[in-house]
Amino acid sequence: MPSESQIAAVAELADALAGMRHGQRGALVHACAARLSVSAQTVNRWLRAHRLPTRKRRADAGAHGLTREEAAAIAATMREGTRDNGRMIYTLRAAVDTARADGRIRAERLDPETGELIPLSYSAIARAMRDYDLHPDQVREPRPYQDLSSPHPNWCWQVDASVCVVFYLPERADKPGGYRLSPIDQAVHYKNRPENLAAVEKFRVIRYVATDHNSGVIRVRYYPHSESASHTVEFLAWLIAPKNNPADPFHGVPRMVMVDPGATGAGMVRRFCEALGIHLIVNKAHNPRAKGQVEQGNAMWEKSFESRLRFVGERVRDFADLNALAGQFQLHFNATAIHRRHGLTRFEQWLTISREQLRITPPAERLLRLATMQAATPKVRGNLTVLFDGRAWDVREVPEVAIGGTVNVAISPFTECDVIAICHDGEGRVIHVPLPEVEKDESGFRIGAAVVGEEFKRLPDTAASANAGELSMLASKTATLKDDEAARRKKDFVPFGGEFNPFAEMDKAHDRHYLPRAGEDAAVALPVAMPRTLSAARAAMQAREALGAKWNEGMFEFIARRWSAGVDEDELARQIARWQKLGVGDDAITQGD
């Protein structure tokens, strides 16, 4: 790009050349080029900005015989033939020839003089595609992007994990158990030589980089082998936890963390962020611009730090040495390098965070307890165990465990016990209870089980079983379970000692009186019940039972004489009613009629 003095000299030359003929201009151009210490071709290129068009525009300029549909068909064919790395392997010439042969396009123009249809040239087709904004060079341009901002430090962090393509840490042949920092030879360790790439894969160095979007603070840690959810959680816990170094002020829980899909957005990372109230933003795949700041941080770190590792020699022997050196360098970088956006060092800008914006946490070791793999809710069996991950786990220490209920169980990779139960205490706080695995002997029996005929062991009562015993003693009005069992063995046992009235609501209910409602006679033809005929003996038995002490022998003689052939129940009832009016000892015969 020309300087201001060169632009002024070229403008003066353009004025001098304006009135000269074509053959007279060369000497002045070469003289100017020598004076400006550039080539004549450069001077001619600079002169283009100072020349006015002298040729008249053609009347048919911009017109072409290619329709937009044809241009789109050619462009789509070329686009589908482009590799992921942007290299175009389906050329314009091949796409046009194939489309013409397939009958998808005609791409021709009409000669006005002869009336002949002439195929468009490849250059004409390319110009037409540019007019339609469909040329591959145009459609490959990146989409417009929206600028992002963060109102304060710890508002948003961007995290990215990538393979360190410069160095790896293989074991030393001369010192077993030791390592050495070795550069990766791109001519040897690349994807087309898988055997060489596999040789260094287990010694790979994974670089985790995080940036605070507001201040631009860059934090880096190195981990072995490959990107993983556990590495991501460890890195986040290290970022969030307070540092013991007074030269390192960076800590606190961010409002949101922006990551790429993959291990950095895995389920364990999501659950860890949810436990801390962090909004995890997982960007779309193949969209590096969404995390442009951390991508720039990666490039900056490679140039400023990893470029120096070639000279450290024995100073880096393992990951601890590498992270210690990286830690010292990033503190120096964040404290001294001036950021162009806000004009301060990165740590100075981060220290503008207010008390309300800084959420302080416990140390990283305690934060890691929040990280769990996918949880399950197995059912509690009668021996207070659950089946999870193909093994049995003892849940007797889990609060409020109940047989037949479920327990929220998960694998915890950062605790001494592999499996934990996730539950809540009386105040609603989340607690993790380590679950011991149920071990078995050679015969498949549980170690510690009671031996038949030799010992008796009882598992502790669950909350539900303890409540059941309490309720049973309450109903039997006893103080111990032994007394409760004895009370219930009695045949006359009544719950609550018979003091409980199950019909209390009925007995205490107010009487209700309803007014009769007017209606029509249903005119039901009821059958007439015929009186039953009793023998004299059966009649005497009913009369004796009804009269009791008033019964005498005279009454029996009366019945036997008068109704020897039988008597209707209604007539017998009338006679019994007359006898009931007699006094004891009165003559039944005289009172019979």
* pLDDT (average), residues 184-192: 43
Judged by average pLDDT, the poorest of 17-26, 59-68, 147-156, 400-409 is 59-68
481-508: b (≥16 Cβ within 10 Å) or e: eeebeebeeeeeeeeeeeeeeeeeeeee
pLDDT value of residue 454: 66
Q: What is the pLDDT of residues 274-310, one digit of tens each?
A: 888 899 988 876 565 567 889 899 999 989 998 888 7
Q: Which pLDDT score, from 0 to 100, does residue 188 have?
A: 40
pLDDT tens, position by position, 371-392: 776 667 788 887 788 887 777 8
**For position 242, what pLDDT does the model report?**
94
State the pLDDT at residue 236.
95
Can you tell me the mean pLDDT for 506-515? 75
Report residue 185's pLDDT band, with 50, 70 and 90 as the boundaries.
Answer: very low
Q: Which residues, 6+ apart, have CB-to-CB distance to 9 below 8 Å? A: 32, 35, 36
Q: Over the stretch 157-170, which tens digit does the pLDDT of each residue have?
A: 999 998 875 555 55
pLDDT over 90, % of the chain: 21
- pLDDT at residue 260, rounded to an integer: 85
Q: Within its chain, how far is the Cα of 551 from the centroid?
A: 95
- Residue 173 scores a pLDDT above 50: no
**pLDDT at residue number 357:** 94
**What phi-psi label fits residue 469: left (phi over 0), alpha (psi between -120 and 50 degrees) or beta?**
alpha
β-strand partners of 117: 110
User: Is the pLDDT confidence value at 398 over 50?
Assistant: yes
Burial 221-255 (b: 16+ CB within 10 A, else e): bbbeeebbbbbbbbbbbbbbbebeeeebbbbbbbb
The residues spanned by each domain of the chain are 4-50, 68-139, 156-368, 372-460, 533-580
Residue 184 has pLDDT above 60, yes or no: no
> What superfamily in CATH does domain 156-368 come from?
Ribonuclease H-like superfamily/Ribonuclease H (3.30.420.10)
Q: What is the pLDDT of residue 417?
A: 62
Sign, Cα dihedral of 259, 265, 270, 276: negative
Task: State the CB neighbour count (10 A cutoff) for residue 154.
Answer: 24
Q: What is the mean pLDDT of residues 62-83?
A: 83
pLDDT at 325: 93
Q: Is the pTM of this model over 0.85?
A: no
What is the Cα 262 distance to its own chain's centre?
Answer: 13
pLDDT, tens digit, 9 for 90 and up, residues 448-476: 677 776 665 666 666 666 677 788 888 88
Mean pLDDT of 517-530: 76
41-50, 126-135, 142-151: range with lowest mean pLDDT: 142-151
Q: What is the pLDDT of residues 545-591, one digit of tens each?
A: 888 888 888 888 888 888 888 888 888 888 888 888 876 555 555 45
What confidence score (pLDDT) does residue 492 get?
83
Q: What are phi and psi for residue 44, nearest 5 degrees?
A: -65, -35
What mean pLDDT comes out for the span 333-359?
Answer: 95
